[in-house]
Structure 1
Amino acid sequence: MSLRAAARAMHIDPGHLSRVLSGKRSPSPQLAEALDGLVGAEGALADLAATLDEDDRGRIAHSVAEPARVDLGTVRALADVLAAQRRLDDTLPATAMLPSTSAQWETVERLARDARGPHADALREVAAEWVQFVGWLHAEARNDADAVRWLTEAEDRADEVGSGELAAQAANFKGYLARRQGRPRAIVRWFSAAYYTPGAAPLQRVGDAVQAAHGYALLGERDAARRLLGEASDLVDEAGDTEAPGTAYWLSPTFSRMGMGLVHLALGEYAEAAANLRAGLDGLPSEQRHAEWSREYRDALEEARAA
């Protein structure tokens, strides 16, 4: 649907809608609800619009004007916006999200660059994750060169703020891009880098081991693939009831079953592939089952069933 057609459907000015979609204006709750219904975002846009109240907006505006005096409330408000954006990615295509997310990043970057005081480090960690998210959106949209550039920057910033979780996730997203490009050696390289990143969360390491195993399976290195699957199974026990880090909120032991399905599919073990893929997809929240990023798993399930 074109922008003008969407504006007509919601009875609003196309120019105003354009400014909202480009991140230059915040949507009203009514507009966010109308957009939700139009694109089938299942309430995600309305939730995003409700993330900041007037106090939060005023606090952020004050921090933009005087970044040296950024306060904890501003950091938390920006972190909440980023978390809402990440969940919106489960229902909207990356191409629709990139303009507003990139515009928001410019504000966060200015704040992080000039921030001083006791909350500056926390703000820089939020900024580092924002870089990673923009890189992910580019990877999802297959803007490959931009994705690599942003994700490399995300790795550097994660190191600067001392976050193994952010660094591992940036490497993981490079592995995802390599998989989309059909480059099995790069799949092994980047997911292995994520797997061995100091400070990565247990659930991250489970997924990284599984996805590195997939790369080995594609290369025909069956023993290496099975070894990593075994390590992943051991790590599931280690992860126990630990929570996924915010930067990888979607991770769960069930989520890794989809990756295991890809490994078995590459090994020609079609029944095991179908069983794992089905279990992983069934374990996803409803808003993620038809997300853009989950399509490869749905396609793999069809391939396994047809084999």
Structure 2
Amino acid sequence: MSADFGTRLRALLTDRGLSLRGAARALNYDVAYLSRVANGRQHPSAQLAEALEELLEVSGELTALAMPKTPLSVSEAPPGPAKDIAQMKASAAYLLGHTDRYGGDTVAPAAVQVWRSAQRKLDSGEIPDKEQSGYLSAVSEAAEVAGWLLFDSGEREHARRAFLESHMLARHAGDRAMQWFALDMLAMLDTECSRPGETRRIADELLSQRRIPPRVALLARVRRGRALAQTGDRQRAMADLDAARGELEESLSPRDPGWAWWVNADEVVGHSGHALMSLGDLRGAIPTLQHSLEHATPRGVMLYRIGLLQGYTALKAWSEAEGEIYEISALLDTISSGRNRRLLREALRIVDRAPGVPSGLSSLASHTAAAVAS
């Protein structure tokens, strides 16, 4: 399926007289990532497919090719570990695609069910010894996916348990790539929970490992930069984040794990915007977050707009804050993310109680908060 996408993408680029490098520049994507997709070596994200459709002026064609489908071999194969692994991967692809568009609330329970079902089979001793390692890795990935969706649903402690389980399973499987992934997810969770000390310990552990892939090291720098910003250490925080941005092109390596494909310039810029918010540099944070809106997923757009609402409120830019509330309200019927709703409620509470806030804006914030809570 990725090869079909790549073949059609190359044909469309040729028809439009556009090079891969030109397309990457226009979309602000890494050219190496786009090259891997175009050559069938990496699965395209729904976000990339939609951006390419807009650039190449086609409707629905690339998005349809990028939609995860369960291969025929999965349904036709006899029951056994190989079929279980294929089904886990197909389920993960579908659930993650849904989350990018609509948020994780409705699909998190399904992801937990996939993980727990596979875990029970593993614990029961049903998996033959010769297939244990591959099955352990697959269950580790299922736990990581469940953890991410639980995190997006606002279930922080359940997410932490899933990430810790993912790390343990990956360690037993000898799967270093999944171990790195689980640690990165734990660092992400600790950043969200304002535990900069723990985030830094994880990032430092990753960076101290020998022959760590460049993209994993880049993400560790991003996590550490966010943690340093939370402690008010601007110089070192921005040094880490600036280094991560500078390493984006150079960091691409055959050693990078498959899960690191999503790391692009907009993602790192978004983290820089949130770091600047933590440091109180609102005038620097706002244009940085605005830049990240351009290619974010719908769920990501909502997250960045919440950050912008916080920034405008702190600056007493009431008209801009009102505009952001209206923009966010338009997303509420589509995006179901407990994490984003919690962040939005906190931001709206600050608007409602801000000194000097116009009465109309205060009423709008209160009304929107009630809608979020319902």
TM range (shorter): 0.5 to 0.7
CA contact (8 A) 1:210 1:263 kept: no
The amino acid that maps onto 1:213 is: G
1:218 and 1:74, CA in 2 relative to 1: closer, same or farther beyond 3 A? closer
1:196 and 1:89 map into 2 onto residues whose CA distance is 33
CA contact (8 A) 1:203 1:252 kept: no
2:304 and 2:208 map into 1 onto residues whose CA distance is 25
Write out aligned runs for 1:47-126 (5 A): 47=67, 50-53=69-72, 55-59=73-77, 62-63=79-80, 70-71=81-82, 75-113=85-123, 114-116=126-128, 119-126=131-138
Other-structure match for 1:155: 167
Other-structure match for 2:305: 298
1:57 and 1:239 map into 2 onto residues whose CA distance is 38
Other-structure match for 1:189: 201
CA contact (8 A) 1:257 1:276 kept: yes
3-state SS of paired residue (2:74): helix
Other-structure match for 2:366: none
CA contact (8 A) 2:228 2:234 kept: yes
Deviations, residues 191-231 of structure 1 (Å, cap 9, x unaligned): 44455455654233323312321221221122321332343
The amino acid that maps onto 1:84 is: Y
Q: Which 10-residue stretch deviates more, 253-262 or 87-96?
A: 87-96
Other-structure match for 1:9: none
2:157 to 145, 168, 172: 145
Write out aligned runs for 1:35-46 (5 A): none
Q: Are 2:148 and 1:130 aligned?
A: no
1:196 and 1:90, CA in 2 relative to 1: closer, same or farther beyond 3 A? farther
3-state SS of paired residue (1:254): helix
Q: How far is the alpha carbon of 1:167 from its aligned partner? A: 1.8
1:199 and 1:110 map into 2 onto residues whose CA distance is 34
Q: How far is the alpha carbon of 1:132 from its aligned partner? A: 1.2
The amino acid that maps onto 2:248 is: V
Other-structure match for 1:174: 186
Other-structure match for 1:5: none
CA contact (8 A) 2:74 2:86 kept: no
1:201 and 1:274 map into 2 onto residues whose CA distance is 32
Deviations, residues 94-144 of structure 1 (Å, cap 9, x unaligned): 231122222222332245453226554223211111111112222222323
The amino acid that maps onto 1:56 is: V
1:196 and 1:59 map into 2 onto residues whose CA distance is 43
The amino acid that maps onto 1:298 is: R
The amino acid that maps onto 2:150 is: H
Other-structure match for 1:25: none
Q: Which 10-residue stretch deviates more, 216-225 or 274-283?
A: 274-283
The amino acid that maps onto 1:59 is: A
1:217 and 1:237, CA in 2 relative to 1: closer, same or farther beyond 3 A? same
CA contact (8 A) 2:215 2:252 kept: no
Identity of aligned residues (%): 18
The Cα RMSD (Å) is 3.2
Deviations, residues 254-278 of structure 1 (Å, cap 9, x unaligned): 3211111122223333343233323
Other-structure match for 1:261: 273
2:210 and 2:88 map into 1 onto residues whose CA distance is 27
The amino acid that maps onto 1:94 is: G
Other-structure match for 1:282: 294
1:219 and 1:299, CA in 2 relative to 1: closer, same or farther beyond 3 A? same
Deviations, residues 24-58 of structure 1 (Å, cap 9, x unaligned): xxxxxxxxxxxxxxxxxxx89x956x4254x5235
The amino acid that maps onto 2:168 is: D
Q: How far is the alpha carbon of 1:237 from its aligned partner? A: 4.0
1:228 and 1:254 map into 2 onto residues whose CA distance is 16
> Larger Rg: 1 or 2?
2
Other-structure match for 2:235: 223
Other-structure match for 1:66: none
2:301 and 2:161 map into 1 onto residues whose CA distance is 24
1:214 and 1:95, CA in 2 relative to 1: closer, same or farther beyond 3 A? same
3-state SS of paired residue (1:142): coil
2:180 and 2:221 map into 1 onto residues whose CA distance is 12
CA contact (8 A) 1:75 1:119 kept: no
3-state SS of paired residue (2:158): helix
CA contact (8 A) 1:171 1:190 kept: yes
3-state SS of paired residue (1:209): helix
CA contact (8 A) 2:150 2:158 kept: yes
